[in-house]
Amino acid sequence: MTTYVESRHSSPPLPQARGELSGSVIRALRSAAAPQSVPRHVIDDADPYGDDLQLALYVLYELHYQGFAAVSDDREWDPELLGLRGDLERRFLDALRADVPASTGALDALNGLLIEPAGHDPASVSHHLQREGELWQLREYATLRSLYHLKEADPHAWVIPRLHGRAKAGMVAVEFDEFGAGRPEEIHARLFADLMADLGLDISYGHYLDAAPACALATVNLMSLFGLHRALRGALVGHFATVEVTSPPGSKRMAAAMRRLGAGPAAARFYDEHVEADAVHEQVVRHEVVGGLLASEPDLDPDVAFGVAATGLLEDRLGAHLLESWRTGASALRPAP
């Protein structure tokens, strides 16, 4: 009998630094020392969507998930690391607030997600992969998405103790399904590891961190940013709603892409599961989680709308990077360090 190896059975190694900010964080974790003082102007001048700041944030956030090999669990609450993280978060969050489009409200923002362009959308990664993508492109897509999908639903779980009533009940109902409804083999992160195995990828948690460009890191950092701050609970609900509302049609295209390219049954099954489950989840999230939250805390409406818009902004940036790379025949992954 073959023993299944969990993707998260161990913590990943620290990644390679990409600049002064990430270098300071990684050196501090590697040496068990306080981070070197980073001049204020370095943070203020850093590209909020760039490799250095996004990797620094990703590494700091990862201390709240699986951690890193040979790094003490106590570093999760290191006050100096948390202080640096707060400075980086403010830079990132200020940029997002400046760049997201204005919204008329949470429900209008969510209703806008239900409108899909007629026919083939040239700006959509799932349309591209379904119609003309190649197997190596599918593998690259799974490589980058593994940074989230191997921890799928974990960032959203942080909002549960910050909700109550209808919103909490609806959130827990959806998360219960995401975590396999009591069956470990059905946990969605496990299903994605099976998908990766079908594609011949390494399923180890965090294995592809060095290959991920800043635009991929930012999509994961957004969830951690929203999840770790009670003040951003409305934004996290907006993010969660965006994922669930947009998942069924995109997952249907991805399942078709997997079958067209012969990716394997487990690869197709991951997306088949999301077509079926998320069609139900979308209704629960819209009416119970978002509806329940806004009924009890109507002042969070702008935050929910911001979460929807920020999610769309960063997903569009990642999609543009993937398609621009692939259409020139280039890899969307960062070269090996």
CB-CB contact of 154 with 65 (8 Å): yes
Yes or no: say if 225 and 89 are a contact pair by the CB < 8 Å rule: yes
Residue 237's contacts (CB-CB under 8 Å, 6 or more residues apart) are 159, 163, 167, 171, 289, 290, 293, 300, 304, 307
Cα torsion angle, 20, 62, 78, 94, sign: positive
Contact between 263 and 201 under an 8 Å Cβ cutoff? The reply is no
- Contact predicate 141/129, CB 8 Å: yes
Q: Which of helix, strand or coil describes residue 35?
A: coil
pLDDT in tens, the chain (337 residues): 345 678 888 899 999 999 999 999 999 999 988 888 888 999 999 999 999 999 999 999 999 999 999 999 999 999 999 999 999 999 999 999 999 988 789 999 988 887 765 556 778 999 999 999 999 999 999 999 999 999 989 999 999 999 999 999 999 999 999 999 999 999 999 999 999 999 999 999 999 999 999 999 999 999 999 999 999 999 999 999 999 988 888 999 999 999 999 999 999 999 998 887 767 788 899 999 999 999 999 999 999 999 999 999 999 999 999 999 999 999 999 998 7
- For the domain covering 106-326, report its CATH number: 1.20.910.10
| CA nearest to 158, candidates 239, 264, 244 | 239
Q: What are phi and psi of 64, to 5 degrees?
A: -90, -5
Q: Where are the domains of the chain?
A: 20-99, 106-326
User: Coil, helix or strand for 138?
Assistant: helix
C-alpha–C-alpha distance, residues 19 and 59, integer Å: 13
| Residue 330 to residue 134: CA distance in whole angstroms | 12
Tell me how far apart the alpha carbons of residues 264 and 169 are, in angstroms, rounded to a whole number: 36
